[in-house]
């Protein structure tokens, strides 16, 4: 899958199960006990996201889709897919607003 950097409007406006994301330039992430710890060298430097084990740091390689993530979380939590998708949309909108991720698009 070839990805390109998202253009306007905000990528979360197009948030669907086929969406996938990559870390923005200068951003790194690692898994911690509470969830994800982002580091953005353009500042503010660190950002804590209490995602538990539901979102793995590997998700942000731009190759995995939100749909697969929903399936994975549904499998672990037993929650309905729609509810998971709504919550993920909120979370990813925040990530975008903080400049941590870029949406990847299929050409």
Partner 1 sequence: MSNGYVEMGLCAPVNVTWEVTYACNLSCVHCLSDSGAKRYGELTTEECRRVIDDLAAAKVFQLNIGGGEPFARPDFLELMDYAHQKDMVTCISTNGTLIDREVARRLDHGLVYIQVSLDGATPESNDGVRGRGSYKKALRSLEFLRQRNVAASINTVLTRLNFLELDKLTQLAASFGAGFRVSRFRPSGRGEKSWSRLNVSKEQMVEFSNWLSRNLEVSTGDSFFSITTEERRSLGLNMCGACKLTCCISPLGRVYPCAFLQQSEFLAGRAPEEPLAFIWKHSPVFESFRRLEIKSCGSCHRFDMCHGGCPAIAYHTQRRLGVPDPGCLANCVGVKAHPAHRQMVTGN
Binding residues for partner 1 (CB under 8 A): 26, 28, 30-34, 37, 39, 41, 45-46, 48, 50
Q: Which of 50, 81 has the CB closer to partner 1?
A: 50
Whole-Å CA distances, 29 to 2, 3, 66, 68: 22, 20, 18, 20
Q: Which of 52, 80 has the CB closer to partner 1?
A: 52
Distance between CA atoms of 98 and 47, rounded to whole angstroms?
9
Chain mean position to CA 59:
7
CB of 27 to partner 1, least distance (A): 10
Q: Which of 39, 67 has the CB closer to partner 1?
A: 39
CB of 30 to partner 1, least distance (A): 4
CB of 57 to partner 1, least distance (A): 9
> Based on the number of CB atoms within 10 Å of its own CB, is 71 exposed (0-12), middle (13-18) or buried (19 or more)?
middle
């Amino acid at each position: 899958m070839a990805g390109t950097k998202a253009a306007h409007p905000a990528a979360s406006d197009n948030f669907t199960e086929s969406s996938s994301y990559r870390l923005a330039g200068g951003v790194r992430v690692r898994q911690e006990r509470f969830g994800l710890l982002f580091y953005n060298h353009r500042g503010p430097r660190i950002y804590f996201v209490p995602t538990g084990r539901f979102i793995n740091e590997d998700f942000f390689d731009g190759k995995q889709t939100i749909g697969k993530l929903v399936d994975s979380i549904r499998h672990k939590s037993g929650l309905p897919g729609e509810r998971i998708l709504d919550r993920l949309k909120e979370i990813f909108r925040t990530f975008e607003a903080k400049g941590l991720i870029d949406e990847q698009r299929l050409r």
